């Protein structure tokens, strides 16, 4: 019964997920700081940030659902609508545009039979155009679930899609395997959280950052190195 | 001695005897006012039939004689009177108070309220002279108390069979 | 030049001294320099998001927002330099880019800070030609509030209010970025008891009131300052009417009472005044048991005839009467009729108010602390009803005291209260064990590092609580800490009635009566037993409100001649013999005395329906017929009498109550200043004194002065602070002087079975007044019974089940809610949909069973 919320929908953060959420919260000195990781957790479980997920996050953090929505709705990586398993973001800014990003976009659009911003009928792919991905040296570039791919041609981009569709493992420019949207969201959520029984694997990597040092406890703030923190005023 | 004066006087009299009459046998004969004459009001409609009046009460606020009374209400699906959210549920102009200054027309943000050249506003009770929205709306017939057979143009140069005074166009 | 207590700065070339730490925008305003603003509100912390108040400060490279810049010594500020003016114009042009041209249909139009400031500080024309941003219009985000996002200028006021002040962060800025908008969470309503305040502080028409939607334009309104007629906090409000109908109530600021806020009950609960059900003429029960209209003379003569010749009379007054009514009723009963059987406690029957004085907590049967004392206390002990439901604005004050002033709040209650969320310590007392919990408080962990001053808040609770014991225990606690008390009686008039001695054991001025009379319960009992000839009920709906509905019913049928002075044909009224119509709060001059004993004035705005009169005039007429001419013809006459007879009120200057204060409202520079060519008028920039006409001369004209926005109208009103009456300084009465019964047998613990019954008021219920509110009557909830989970398990009840609740032979079927409540206790709200709790509250204990 506890899994059903007052309005009749099934709660998202229950059971094991609730335990994970709790351990994420314990990482922060101020529990409401955990709102974004928890939203990623919801996205990792549900595929996108559902209303019930936001209610659950609010319940865990002692916020109102409106406050959770207010924070969550700012971030484009938190999807409010059902999203594709693989999100393809093609840069359309100056460097990439000069080197033919629009051809890549058109080719992908044709291959997937969707316009940018839409999800394929089978829910596997979502195509979007992105602002600068900070990889101008590899223009035209794109990301599949936030893994970079450089120096694309329409053919190579379509080939990547084909390979993913065939179930092949695809690695990005940095050597990381492209994983599904849910996996990436989940990983983002639990990065740095010390989860009972899942040491190592799950906290191995923080998306876009480093793992916390071994001796860091929940609630600790990272220590500044000696040469840090003394920006010239 | 007084003869020149008498003759002068007679000249005026004789000249005027043969001049056309200024008076006319109103109400059978009637003269149309000039087009910009400020007479009684009319509430316009949009081409699609919705009322232009949105019940904003700016006319009532502008009225120096406190002659206009408006109560707004909300358009509901199924009961739409005007475009947008608000319409005039009650719209009354009290012609006992109205001084025909036209400030209300100037205040109207939707050009819903206009003045016609109609000046025949009379009644047998005070209540008769508080015109309601049903009387003021453009497609309500302008009521006259008497039939007019002949109507002159404002400068009286042309004469026509009386019809309705469509001054609101 | 300046010392620690003050800094000197220059604003627009004028030197001014100010306290350090104050905000530039406030200091400038006091000087008469109005800095335009949208997001800044004196009741909330500044955020500086609207950028409208940018001013030039010498030595600063960029313009600074006046609303978040504290004054500093030697600061040279200019609000009218080209730079600042350019910024203001630029900001307004930006704000207006997406603002729709809705003014003609917008409820804010005519009293809109955006309109006003655009006239005064705006660029005059826009260079923006692209299409405006659009949203779905008129979104109903609750039963009371309508949201139009197109009009929003993103000032955050509503968001800050609901988060900072009310603690109900249900409205937020979402989709932040170019598409930022105000919104609630999906389909969840903006379900706050204080949501109406966001309408009032919205500087545009983005949040508007649903009940007031399209009802009137500001220039239609006549307004008068008044005091809310619901609870005993006594928030100052304006009543605003159109065509002799009350159409809107808004908060007036008073930093001593409500700051800037009122609750939604006070804001939207006014419809009862214009209800068609109001009594308009005296009614008399005729031969065939039907009421017939009679003249005042006839009705009063008939009542007087019954009162003559040593009739045995009981007088009961309800809690919504004014101080003047209270004085007249007390005088009529004691001096003219000669009965001491007079009481003003109906819903709170038996509440030991006099014990507050006897226990030494306060020199009066009322508060010794003011609301300001509460707001600045170091320690607060809460022993009253749930303030969010019963005294909503006091809840805001308590919240502010704890969260902003770091007061320690200790809540002693057998059930979870709204305060628990931010209380420093929650003492969950046993069912009926509050007195013991109070006694043990000082040796419990809750007492660690508590500081002085301490304010003890006590309000009567339900029959289950041994209130006399609680007050005695609080007396001991108060003596130990030298604490002050804030006594919280339930209704707007309750304290005034106590002050004026409408109480069986108190005389006016909190003097103990030599021979105490019967209290409400005893009066009703006497009437039920046929030992009363006449029962006079002034606004007292005993059947609906008295905790024992059965006794009340028997009392009315006990053969006594029942005379009722009422607004409505309530159930009590329809069972009486003579019914006299009373004027409501918006129709009369009068005063309410609030829970801190602050006297605030009601100004008349409407005509009473038919021939309804103020209750004190009825008393005057009855006294005259009984041979005692008091010679009162006006409100002032009543007060002259009060001042010469009530020792606590001798100093009350009744003129000061209505005066707006010694200093005139600030007149603003350039465009806001007084025009010497007009006598008393204020020039309003474009439009002059528009609108004018029949409304001029009434106080608190909406739209009479510039700027029209409510804040500044409010600043004028702030100078109606009311007067806290003096306290008696004579000897304290000894406990033996009290014969106040507690109304019910104190629960004797182990021997009794069943559950200790706690009954309490929810903010929205089916009370006589609030049920007439078209806005609020749908919000009342289904009746329920709150129960501890363990107890429920034993009874095999679970959440949502229907339980049969029995007491004294009556029973009710109520929905079970599992709650944080002490074992052995149940809570039942009063007057929820279709259920009168007072059929159950006759006994301190109830039994529960599963519905089979």
pLDDT of residue C696: 30
**Is 50 exceeded by the pLDDT of residue C458?**
yes
pLDDT of residue A218: 54
Query: Model confidence at C850, in pLDDT bands (50, 70, 90)?
Result: confident
By C-alpha distance, which of C617, C620, C625, C846 is closest to C752?
C846
CB of C186 less than 8 A from some CB of A? yes
Pick C113 or A228 by higher pLDDT.
Answer: C113
**Is 50 exceeded by the pLDDT of residue C2?**
no
Pick B53 or C671 by higher pLDDT.
Answer: B53
Helix/strand/coil for C503: strand
Burial C672-700 (b: 16+ CB within 10 A, else e): beeeeeeeebbbbeeeebebeeebeeebb
Helix/strand/coil for C242: strand
By C-alpha distance, which of A31, A79, A32, A74 is closest to A218?
A31
What pLDDT, in 10s, does the model give residues C91-101?
999 999 999 98
By C-alpha distance, which of B80, B98, B83 is closest to B136?
B98
pLDDT of residue C266: 94
**Is 70 exceeded by the pLDDT of residue C799?**
yes
**Is 80 exceeded by the pLDDT of residue A203?**
no
Q: Which helix (H) or strand (E) holds C760?
A: strand C755-760
Contact C169 A66 (CB under 8 A): yes
By C-alpha distance, which of C39, C26, C38, C36 is closest to C160?
C39
Q: What are chain A's partners, defined as 3 or more CB pairs within 8 angstroms?
A: C
By C-alpha distance, which of C716, C662, C715 is closest to C42?
C715
In angstroms, the CA C193 to CA C583 distance is 28
By C-alpha distance, which of C244, C234, C261, C196 is closest to C320?
C234
Chain C, 479-508: which have a CB under 8 Å from a chain A CB?
Answer: none
For domain C367-488, give its CATH number from 3.40.50.720, 3.20.130.10, 3.30.450.30, 3.40.228.10.
3.40.228.10
Query: Model confidence at C832, in pLDDT bands (50, 70, 90)?
Result: confident
Query: Model confidence at A5, in pLDDT bands (50, 70, 90)?
Result: low
**Is 90 exceeded by the pLDDT of residue C679?**
no
CB of B55 less than 8 A from some CB of C? yes
**Under CATH, which architecture does the C283-350+495-652 domain have?**
3-Layer(aba) Sandwich (3.40)
Percent of chain C exceeding pLDDT 90 equals: 50
pLDDT of residue B92: 94
Token digits of residue A79: 């999807």
**Is 60 exceeded by the pLDDT of residue C743?**
no
Query: Model confidence at C713, in pLDDT bands (50, 70, 90)?
Result: very low
What pLDDT, in 10s, does the model give residues C416-429?
999 998 999 999 98
pLDDT of residue C656: 80
In angstroms, the CA C199 to CA C171 distance is 12
Angle at A71 between CA A66 and CA A76, to 5 degrees: 125
Contact C172 A69 (CB under 8 A): yes
Place of tokens 């031969």: C287
- As a whole number, the mean pLDDT across chain C is 84
Contact partners, residue B16, CB within 8 Å, separation at least 6: none
Query: Model confidence at C616, in pLDDT bands (50, 70, 90)?
Result: very high
In angstroms, the CA C757 to CA C840 distance is 9
Per-residue pLDDT, averaged over A55-82, amounts to 92
CA C416 to chain centre: 23
What pLDDT, in 10s, does the model give residues C162-173?
999 999 999 999
User: Distance (Å) from the C-alpha of residue B146 to the closest C-alpha of chain C?
Assistant: 37
Angle at C454 between CA C449 and CA C457, to 5 degrees: 125
**Is 90 exceeded by the pLDDT of residue C442?**
no
Angle at C735 between CA C734 and CA C737, to 5 degrees: 75
Residue C382 class from Cβ within 10 Å (0-12 exposed, 13-18 middle, 19+ buried)?
buried
For the ranges C414-423, C716-725, C753-762, the lowest mean pLDDT is seen at C716-725
What is the 3 state secondary structure string of C80-130? CCHHHHHHHHHHHHHHHHCCCCCCCCCCCCCCCHHHHHHHHHCCCCCCCCC
By C-alpha distance, which of C194, C138, C152 is closest to C169?
C194
For domain B24-161, give its CATH number from 3.50.50.60, 3.40.50.460, 3.20.110.20, 3.30.70.3270.
3.30.70.3270
Contact C186 A70 (CB under 8 A): no
In angstroms, the CA C568 to CA C715 distance is 36
By C-alpha distance, which of C434, C326, C141, C346 is closest to C761?
C346
pLDDT of residue C30: 80
Q: Which helix (H) or strand (E) holds C56?
A: strand C54-57
Cβ atoms of C813 and C714 closer than 8 Å: no
Size of interface A-C (CB pairs under 8 A): 40
Place of tokens 């020039």: C683
Of A54, A66, A68, the CB nearest to C171: A66
Residue C587 to residues C608, C610, C757, C823: CA-CA distances in angstroms? 5, 12, 39, 48
In angstroms, the CA A56 to CA A75 distance is 19
pLDDT of residue C251: 87
Residue C820 class from Cβ within 10 Å (0-12 exposed, 13-18 middle, 19+ buried)?
middle
φ, ψ of residue C633 in degrees (nearest 5)? -125, -20
Contact partners, residue C178, CB within 8 Å, separation at least 6: none
**Is 70 exceeded by the pLDDT of residue C581?**
yes
Report the 10 Å Cβ neighbour count for C94. 16
User: Distance (Å) from the C-alpha of residue A225 to the closest C-alpha of chain C?
Assistant: 34
Token digits of residue C638: 């009543």
pLDDT of residue A14: 85
Percent of chain C exceeding pLDDT 70 equals: 89
CATH number of the C7-97 domain: 3.10.20.740
Residue C276 class from Cβ within 10 Å (0-12 exposed, 13-18 middle, 19+ buried)?
exposed
Does one domain contain both A151 and A202? no
**Is 60 exceeded by the pLDDT of residue C317?**
yes
Report the 10 Å Cβ neighbour count for A16. 9
φ, ψ of residue C458 in degrees (nearest 5)? -130, 135
- pTM attached to this predicted model: 0.88
Provide the number of structural domains found in chain A. Answer: 2
For the ranges A215-229, C3-17, C249-263, C310-324, the lowest mean pLDDT is seen at A215-229
Q: At what angle do helices A65-72 and A35-46 cross, to 10 degrees?
A: 80
Helix/strand/coil for A32: helix
Token digits of residue C301: 């003569």
Cβ atoms of A92 and A106 closer than 8 Å: no
In angstroms, the CA A75 to CA C526 distance is 71
CATH 3.40.50.740 occupies which residues in chain C? Answer: 283-350+495-652
Does one domain contain both A30 and A113? no
The stretches in chain B having pLDDT less than 50 are 165-169
Nearest CA in chain A to C179: A74
Torsion, Cα B119 B120 B124 B129, to 10 degrees, reads -40
**Is 60 exceeded by the pLDDT of residue C732?**
no
**Which runs of E-coded beta strand occur in B33-156?**
41-43, 68-74, 86-94, 113-115, 130-131, 150-152
Q: Which chain C residues touch B61 with a CB distance below 8 Å?
A: 110, 217, 219, 690-691
Residues recorded for chain C: 852
Contact A64 C183 (CB under 8 A): no
With touching defined as 3 or more inter-chain CB pairs under 8 Å, the answer for chains C and A is yes
With touching defined as 3 or more inter-chain CB pairs under 8 Å, the answer for chains B and C is yes
Helix/strand/coil for B45: strand
In angstroms, the CA B88 to CA C257 distance is 40
By C-alpha distance, which of C829, C1, C839, C815 is closest to C848?
C815
Contact A67 C175 (CB under 8 A): no
CATH 2.40.40.20 occupies which residues in chain C? Answer: 749-850
ipTM value: 0.84
Cβ atoms of C205 and C106 closer than 8 Å: yes
In angstroms, the CA C815 to CA C797 distance is 10
**Is 90 exceeded by the pLDDT of residue C838?**
no
For the ranges A192-196, C225-229, C429-433, the lowest mean pLDDT is seen at A192-196
**Structural domain of residue A109, as residue ranges?**
86-179
**Is 70 exceeded by the pLDDT of residue A195?**
no
Cβ atoms of C321 and C493 closer than 8 Å: yes
Q: Which helix (H) or strand (E) holds A144?
A: strand A142-144
Of B58, B74, B109, the CB nearest to C214: B74
CB of A68 less than 8 A from some CB of C? yes
Residues recorded for chain B: 169
Pick C766 or C159 by higher pLDDT.
Answer: C159
**Is 90 exceeded by the pLDDT of residue C846?**
no
Fold of C749-850: Barwin-like endoglucanases (2.40.40)
Cβ atoms of C339 and C630 closer than 8 Å: no
CB of B73 less than 8 A from some CB of C? yes
pLDDT of residue C670: 35
Of C176, C177, C184, the CB nearest to A66: C184
Residues recorded for chain A: 233
Torsion, Cα C457 C463 C468 C470, to 10 degrees, reads -50
Contact partners, residue C513, CB within 8 Å, separation at least 6: C340, C501, C504, C505, C506, C507
CB of B106 less than 8 A from some CB of C? no
Cβ atoms of C431 and C412 closer than 8 Å: no
Cβ atoms of C290 and C587 closer than 8 Å: no
CB of B166 less than 8 A from some CB of C? no
Domain contains A229? no
Q: Which chain A residues touch C170 with a CB distance below 8 Å?
A: 64, 66
């Amino acid at each position: 019964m506890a899994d059903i919320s007052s309005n009749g929908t099934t709660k998202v953060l229950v059971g094991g997920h609730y335990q994970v959420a709790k351990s994420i919260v314990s990482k922060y000195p101020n529990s409401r700081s955990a709102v974004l990781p928890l939203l990623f957790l919801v996205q990792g479980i549900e595929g996108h940030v559902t209303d019930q997920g936001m209610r659950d996050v609010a319940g865990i953090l002692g916020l109102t659902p409106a406050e959770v929505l207010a924070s969550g709705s700012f971030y484009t990586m938190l999807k409010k609508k059902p999203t594709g398993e693989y999100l393809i973001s093609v840069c359309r800014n100056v460097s990439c545009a000069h080197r033919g990003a629009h051809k890549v976009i058109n080719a992908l659009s044709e291959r997937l039979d969707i316009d940018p911003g839409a999800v394929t009928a089978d829910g596997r792919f979502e195509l979007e155009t992105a602002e600068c991905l900070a990889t101008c040296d590899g223009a035209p570039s794109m990301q599949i679930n936030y893994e970079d791919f450089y120096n694309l041609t329409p053919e190579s981009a379509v080939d990547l899609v084909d390979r993913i569709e065939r179930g092949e493992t695809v690695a990005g420019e940095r050597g990381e395997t492209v994983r599904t949207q849910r996996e990436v969201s989940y990983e983002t959520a639990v990065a740095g959280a010390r989860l009972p029984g899942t040491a190592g694997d799950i906290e191995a990597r923080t998306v876009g950052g480093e793992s916390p040092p071994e001796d860091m406890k929940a609630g600790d703030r990272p220590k500044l190195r000696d040469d840090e923190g003394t920006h010239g005023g | 001695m007084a003869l020149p004066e008498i003759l002068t006087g007679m000249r005026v009299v004789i000249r005027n005897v043969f001049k056309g009459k200024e008076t006319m046998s109103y109400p059978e004969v009637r003269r149309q006012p000039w087009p910009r004459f400020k007479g009684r009001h009319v509430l316009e409609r949009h081409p699609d039939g919705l009322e232009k009046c949105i019940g904003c009460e700016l006319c009532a606020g502008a009225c120096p004689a406190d002659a206009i009374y408006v109560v707004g209400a909300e358009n509901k699906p199924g009961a739409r009177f005007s475009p947008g959210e608000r319409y005039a549920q009650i719209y009354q102009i009290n012609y006992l108070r109205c001084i025909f200054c036209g400030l209300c027309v100037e205040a109207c943000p939707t050009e819903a309220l206009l003045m016609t050249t109609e000046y025949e506003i009379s009644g047998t009770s005070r209540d008769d002279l508080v015109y309601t929205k049903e009387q003021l709306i453009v497609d309500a017939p302008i009521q006259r108390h008497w039939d007019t057979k002949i109507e002159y143009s404002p400068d009286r140069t042309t004469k026509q069979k009386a019809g309705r005074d469509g001054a609101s166009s | 030049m300046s010392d620690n207590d003050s800094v000197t700065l220059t604003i627009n070339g004028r030197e001014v001294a100010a306290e350090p730490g104050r905000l530039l925008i406030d200091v400038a305003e006091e000087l008469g320099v109005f800095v335009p603003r949208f997001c800044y509100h004196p009741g909330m912390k500044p955020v500086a998001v609207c950028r409208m108040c940018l001013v030039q400060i010498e030595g600063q490279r960029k313009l600074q927002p006046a609303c978040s810049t504290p004054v500093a010594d030697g600061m040279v500020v200019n609000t009218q330099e080209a730079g600042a003016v350019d910024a203001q114009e630029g900001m307004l042009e930006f704000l207006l880019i997406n603002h729709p041209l809705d003014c003609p249909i917008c409820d804010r139009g005519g009293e809109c800070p955006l309109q006003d400031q655009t006239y005064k500080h705006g660029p005059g024309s826009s260079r923006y030609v692209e299409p405006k941003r659009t949203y779905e219009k008129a979104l109903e985000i609750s039963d009371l509030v309508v949201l139009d996002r197109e009009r929003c200028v993103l000032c955050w006021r509503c968001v800050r209010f609901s988060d900072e002040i009310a603690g109900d962060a249900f409205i937020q800025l979402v989709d932040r970025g170019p598409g930022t908008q105000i919104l609630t969470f999906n389909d969840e309503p903006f379900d706050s008891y204080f949501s109406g305040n966001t309408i009032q502080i919205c500087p545009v028409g983005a949040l508007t009131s649903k009940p007031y939607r399209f009802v009137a334009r500001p220039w239609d309104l006549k307004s008068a300052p008044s005091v809310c007629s619901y609870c005993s906090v006594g928030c100052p409000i304006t009543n605003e009417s159109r065509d002799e109908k009350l159409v809107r109530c808004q908060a007036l600021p008073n930093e001593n009472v409500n700051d800037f806020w009122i609750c939604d009950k006070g804001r939207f609960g006014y419809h009862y005044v214009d209800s068609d059900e109001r009594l308009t003429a005296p009614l008399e029960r005729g031969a065939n048991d039907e009421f017939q209209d009679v003249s005042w003379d006839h009705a009063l003569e008939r009542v007087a005839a019954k009162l003559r010749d040593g009739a045995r009379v009981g007088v009961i007054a309800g809690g919504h009467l004014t101080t003047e009514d209270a004085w007249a009723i007390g005088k009529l009963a004691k001096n003219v009729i000669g009965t001491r059987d007079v009481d003003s406690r109906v819903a709170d029957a038996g509440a030991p108010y006099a014990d507050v004085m006897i226990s030494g907590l306060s020199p009066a049967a009322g508060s010794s602390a003011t609301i300001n004392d509460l707001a600045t206390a170091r320690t607060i002990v809460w022993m009253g009803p749930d303030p969010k439901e019963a005294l909503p604005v006091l809840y805001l004050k308590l919240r502010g005291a704890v969260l902003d002033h770091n007061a320690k709040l200790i809540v002693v209650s057998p059930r979870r209260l709204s305060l628990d969320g931010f209380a420093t310590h929650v003492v969950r007392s046993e069912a009926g064990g509050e007195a013991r919990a109070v006694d043990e408080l000082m040796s419990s962990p809750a007492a660690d590092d508590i500081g002085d001053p301490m304010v003890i808040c006590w309000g009567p609770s339900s029959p289950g609580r041994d209130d006399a014991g609680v007050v005695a225990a609080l007396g001991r606690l108060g003596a130990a800490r030298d604490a002050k008390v804030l006594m919280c009686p339930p209704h707007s008039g309750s304290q005034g009635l106590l002050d004026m001695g409408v109480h069986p054991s108190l005389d006016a001025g909190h003097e103990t009566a030599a021979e105490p009379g019967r209290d409400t319960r005893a009066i009703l009992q006497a009437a039920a037993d046929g030992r009363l000839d006449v029962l006079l009920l002034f606004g007292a709906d005993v059947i609906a409100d008295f905790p024992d509905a059965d006794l009340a019913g028997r009392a009315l049928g006990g053969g006594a001649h029942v005379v009722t002075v009422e607004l409505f044909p309530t159930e009590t009224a329809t069972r009486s013999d003579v019914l006299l119509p009373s004027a409501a709060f918006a129709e009369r001059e009068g005063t309410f005395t609030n829970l801190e004993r602050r006297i605030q004035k009601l100004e008349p705005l409407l005509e009473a329906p038919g021939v309804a009169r103020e209750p004190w005039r009825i008393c005057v007429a009855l006294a005259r017929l009984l041979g005692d001419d008091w010679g009162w013809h006006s409100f002032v006459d009543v007060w002259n009498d009060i001042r010469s007879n009530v020792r606590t009120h001798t100093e009350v200057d009744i003129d000061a109550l209505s005066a707006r204060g010694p200093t005139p409202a600030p007149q603003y520079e350039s465009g806001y200043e007084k025009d010497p060519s007009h006598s008393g008028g204020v020039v309003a920039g474009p439009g002059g004194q528009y609108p004018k006409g029949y409304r001029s001369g009434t106080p608190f004209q909406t739209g009479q002065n510039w700027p029209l926005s409510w804040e500044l109208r409010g600043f004028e009103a702030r100078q109606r602070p009311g007067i806290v009456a003096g306290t008696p300084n004579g000897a304290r009465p000894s406990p033996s002087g009290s014969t106040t019964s507690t109304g019910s047998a104190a629960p004797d613990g182990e021997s009794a079975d069943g559950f200790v019954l706690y009954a309490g008021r929810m903010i929205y219920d089916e009370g006589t007044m609030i049920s007439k509110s078209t806005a609020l009557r749908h919000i009342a909830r289904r009746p329920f019974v709150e129960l501890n989970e363990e107890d429920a398990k034993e009874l095999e009840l679970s959440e949502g089940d229907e339980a049969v609740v029995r007491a004294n032979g009556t029973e009710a079927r109520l929905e079970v809610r599992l709650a944080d409540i002490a074992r052995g206790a149940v809570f039942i709200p009063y007057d929820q949909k279709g259920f009168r709790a007072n059929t159950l509250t006759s006994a301190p204990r109830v039994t529960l069973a599963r519905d089979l």
